[in-house]
Homo-oligomer: A and B are copies of this chain.
Amino acid sequence: MDGPSTQCGLDVSLAVIGGKWKPLILYHLQDGPTRFSEIRRRVGGISEKVLIQQLRELVAMTVLVRHDHHQVPPVVDYALTPFGETLVEALVPLCEWGNRNRAEVAGMLQRSSKAASV
């Protein structure tokens, strides 16, 4: 039942980084292992529920590893796996594209009255 859409790898990537937050989360994990609350602060605007959800999914895809320090109060951090790092690298051009065209895109979003805080 493979549809004709199975020729390009984008469907695969989208299955991994789909959603509003995953790419952002990965981006903010580039500097090494990061604690849950720190990720939350860095990403900004994401709710705890959604963040955990996304982190779990990324861990399930072996893009991240969760490290529980077994302390109380809880100390847990998340880090990119080598596999995850290859993903982040594939994400870089898109990130740069975004930076290059931030102003332009922001302007367009405004004009189509879909204004956001971009």
Does A14 make an interface contact (CB < 8 A)? Answer: yes
Stretch among A47-55, A64-72, A74-82, A105-113 lining the B interface: A105-113
| Contact B61–A10 (Cβ < 8 Å) | no
A52 to B103, CA, bound (A): 26
Q: Is the interface of A mostly helix, strand, loop or mixed?
A: helix
**Number of residues from A at the complex interface, CB < 8 A:** 54
Instruction: List, in ascending order, chain B residues with CB within 8 A of A108's CB.
Output: 60-62
Given A93-B93, A94-B94, are A9 and B109 also a contact pair (CB < 8 Å)? Answer: no
A-B pairs with beta carbons under 8 Å apart, 8 shown? A1-B117, A5-B43, A9-B95, A9-B98, A9-B101, A10-B95, A11-B24, A12-B106
